[in-house]
Amino acid sequence: MTDQVISAGNPVYRRRRRFNRVMLTLSGAAVISGLFWLFWIIITLLLKGAGAVSLSLLTEMTPPPGQAGGLLNAIVGSVMMAVVATVVGTPIGVLAGTYLAEYGQRGWLAPTTRFLNDVLLSAPSIVIGLFIYAVYVAQVGHYSGWAGAFALAIIVIPVVVRATDNMLLLVPNSLREAAAALGCPQWRVILFISYRAARSGIVTGVLLAVARISGETAPLLFTALNNQFMSWNMNAPMANLPVVIFQYAASPFEDWNRLAWAGAVMITLLVLGINILARSFFRK
Same domain, 91 and 218: yes
Indicate the residue among 52, 70, 88 that finishes a domain: 52
Same domain, 15 and 137: no
Sign, Cα dihedral of 239, 245, 251, 257: positive
Same domain, 46 and 62: no
Task: Tell me how many degrees the CA angle 250-251-256 measures, rounded to the nearest 5.
Answer: 110
Q: Would you list the DSSP string of 167-231?
A: HHHTS-HHHHHHHHHTT--HHHHIIIIIHHHTHHHHHHHHHHHHHHHHT--HHHHTTT---SS--
Cβ proximity of 190 and 95 under 8 Å: no
Task: Return the number of other C-beta atoms located less than 10 Å from residue 12's C-beta.
Answer: 10
The structural domain count of the chain equals: 2
Same domain, 46 and 132: no
The pLDDT of residue 6 is: 61
Which pTM does this prediction carry?
Answer: 0.87
Same domain, 276 and 173: yes
Same domain, 119 and 250: yes
Instruction: For residue 114, give the H/E element and its range.
Output: helix 109-121
Backbone angles phi, psi at 191, to 5 degrees: -70, -40
Same domain, 68 and 172: yes
Give CA–CA dist 179/183, Å, rounded: 7
Same domain, 129 and 243: yes
The pLDDT of residue 240 is: 94
The pLDDT of residue 105 is: 83
CATH of residue 147's domain is 1.10.3720.10
**pLDDT averaged over every residue in the chain:** 90
Backbone angles phi, psi at 237, to 5 degrees: -55, 140
List the domain range (segments joined by +) for residue 138: 56-283
Indicate the residue among 36, 52, 68 that finishes a domain: 52
Task: Return the number of other C-beta atoms located less than 10 Å from residue 188's C-beta.
Answer: 13
| First vs last C-alpha separation in the chain | 47
Same domain, 11 and 122: no
Q: Could you say which residues of the chain have pLDDT below 70? A: 1-9, 281-284
The pLDDT of residue 5 is: 53
Give CA–CA dist 197/52, Å, rounded: 44
Give me the torsion for CA of 206, 212, 218, 223, rounded to 10°.
30
The pLDDT of residue 1 is: 45
Same domain, 39 and 84: no
Same domain, 87 and 116: yes
Same domain, 91 and 203: yes
Cβ proximity of 13 and 5 under 8 Å: yes
Across 88-104, b (16+ Cβ under 10 Å) vs e yields bbbeebbebbbbbbbeb
Cβ proximity of 149 and 85 under 8 Å: yes
Give CA–CA dist 237/229, Å, rounded: 10
pLDDT digits (tens, 9 = 90+) for 41-75: 989 998 988 888 888 888 999 998 888 889 999 99
